[in-house]
Each structure stands twice: as structure tokens, then as C-alpha cells.
Amino acid sequence: MCYYRAVKIKNQDLLKINDIERDLSGYDFEALVADGFAYGATPVIVPKPDCGWDIVQMEWGFIPHYLSNRDAVEKFRRGYTDENGKYRPPMTTLNAIGEELLLQGKMYRDAALKRRCLFISSSFYEWRHIFPIGKKGQPLKTAIKYPYNIRTKSDNGIHFTAGIWQTWTDKQTGETVDTCALVTTKANRLMEQIHNSKKRMPTILTPELAGEWISDGLSEERIIEIATFQYPADQMEAWPIHKEFKTASDPTEAFEYTDLPGLVL
């Protein structure tokens, strides 16, 4: 879930975290549909040693240390057939489950303890599954998927989502790259109706929690508390969009489906 986001930051936008305000006139971010499965660069906020913060570009898709080179990363992300003819399915590390960040032995633990960041988004996209009713009045087994655009009601149209990151080194070429994963939590009242298959949502943070997330000295208990925070449903809005939104000139434009039940707000 949350594999597609919009990152649209205007030059006149200002971001404020930990009482530090940053003019974004020097940045140029405009991705109407940032596709996580492209594993491209995405802007994230990281803390600076002087207690400030910076916006940097990272590869969206957390790469574990044990992957030795880009060929191994590609197999990890896309899946492959091994030497015995057995198919090994892909592993997706675009998102990290907030409740499980600090489990012993998990790949995200060290990053959650030491390297927390913030994803910047203007909105995100998710699919709602609706099961049609058959001729005998029973729900059919195959759902119809309807895409939605979702955003917060923030003044500047930008929201922060908890993230984690780490530097990965290609042991074959020596290349180093910073990679990141977006943190998710249980869906709130709005999102459990939209993302009704898995009932998850991004861990969207208030400006105060965003500042705390990238601060030092958080206890393990507090890290999990913030990682599992549910942004209030009444401070979000959502609407259905065209099923071909990924190639649309305006992917956020509302689209009406006659067979789609409304959301209960």
C-alpha cells in the first residue's frame, strides 16, 4: 500500500519543523505520480548535527545490507527463478510496518533506532475494493478496484510521513546510495473504507510529531508510539479518480463512478 504518492512543492511553499522554517525556492520537486516500483529518487527530510534539518534525495526502496550488488537487489525487488527452477517471489521494502519496526532480528530495527527521516508528499493514491453483487444477491469473489486521491487538509497542502533510511554499499562496484522506506500504521476511520483490503495507511505526522520523529533521544516505546500514530480522519479528504490516473495530465482530478458507494464520513 501507499506505493504511489504525489510530491508537488511550489517555490513559494515554506516548511517549518522544530521552529526552523525553510524557504523552498531552491528546490524543484514536482512528481504528480511518484511510482514506488520505479525505485527512483524521492525527497526526504533528515536531521542535521546542529539540530537543524535538510531535504535530500534518497532511493525509495530500503536495501538490506546483505545484498551484495545491484544484480542481487534487482532479484530481491523483482523476483527470480533459482538454479533449481524454483521461483523466488519479490520482496517489497517501499513500506515498513510501524508496529514491527523494532522487532529483534528485523532489517529495519537499526534504522528505526538511529536513522529516521520524513517523506514529503502533497497527496497519495490508494485503491478501494468493491465486490459486485451477483444475480443471486451474493457478493462475487472478484473485487472491482477504484483508485482514490487522498490528502490532508494542511494549509500549504504538504504533509510529512514517518520514514527510515540507511546507506547501502554495492560490494562489487563500491557505489553507495542512501535508501529509505515509508512507515505505515493501521488505517483510521476514513482509510479503512478506502484501503479496505489491508486497512493500512501511511504514518502521517503532525508538524510537532514530525519534529520529534527526527530528534535524538527517543525511547523504543516512543518510537513505536509515533510510528503507529493515526492521523485524524476528519483532517483528511479523499475522492475517486480515473483508473488511468498514472498517465493522466491531472491524476488528482475527481472522477464519478455510478456503481461506487460513497464514503461514510
The domain total for the chain is 1
pLDDT for 265 equals 81
Closest CA to 182 of 118, 126, 238: 118
- Grid cell for residue 142: 472478484
Residue 8: per-residue pLDDT: 75
Beta pairing, strands 176-186 & 53-60: parallel
Residue 40 within a domain: yes
- Cα 157–32–226 angle (5° rounding)? 50
What CATH number should be reported for the domain holding residue 88? 3.90.1680.10
Q: Tell whether 265 is covered by a domain.
A: no
Does the residue 55 lie in any domain? Answer: yes
Report if residue 259 sits inside a domain: no
Domain coverage including residue 184: 4-247
| Per-residue CA distances from 28 to 4, 16, 20, 135, 195 (Å) | 19, 18, 20, 53, 31
What is the phi/psi pair of residue 150, to 5°? -130, 140
| Neighbour tally for 244: CB within 10 Å | 10
Instruction: Please state, in angstroms and rounded to a whole number, the distance separating the CA atoms of residues 23 and 8.
Output: 15
Side-chain-side CA neighbours of residue 179 (13 Å)? 22
Q: Alpha carbon 164 to chain centroid distance?
A: 11
Residue 11 maps to a domain: yes
What is d(CA 68, CA 75) in angstroms, rounded to the nearest whole number? 11
Write down the pTM of the prediction.
0.92
Asked, for residue 253, whether it belongs to a domain, the answer is no
On whether the CB atoms of residues 91 and 62 are closer than 8 A, the answer is no
DSSP string, 87-126: EE-----SEEEGGGTT-TT-TTHHHHHH-EEEEEESEEEE
Give CA–CA dist 132/139, Å, rounded: 6
CB of 148 closer than 8 Å to CB of 127: yes
Q: Pull the grid cell for residue 224.
A: 513505536
pLDDT score of 1: 57
- Whether 153 maps to a domain, the answer reads yes
Residue 260 lies inside a defined structural domain of this protein = no
**Greatest pairwise CA separation for the chain in angstroms:** 66
Distance in angstroms (rounded) separating the CA atoms of residues 78 and 80: 7
Q: How far apart are CA 262 and CA 265, in angstroms?
A: 9
pLDDT for the residue numbered 135: 77
Q: What is the pLDDT of residue 141?
A: 82
Per-block mean pLDDT, blocks of 10 residues, the chain (265 long):
76 69 66 90 90 90 97 97 95 97 94 97 95 78 93 88 98 97 98 95 96 95 98 97 94 94 89
List phi, psi (to 5°) of 254: -65, 145
Pairing outcome for strands 144-152 and 29-35: unpaired
Specify whether the CB–CB gap between 147 and 127 falls below 8 A. yes
**Residue 209: count of CB within 10 angstroms of its CB:** 17
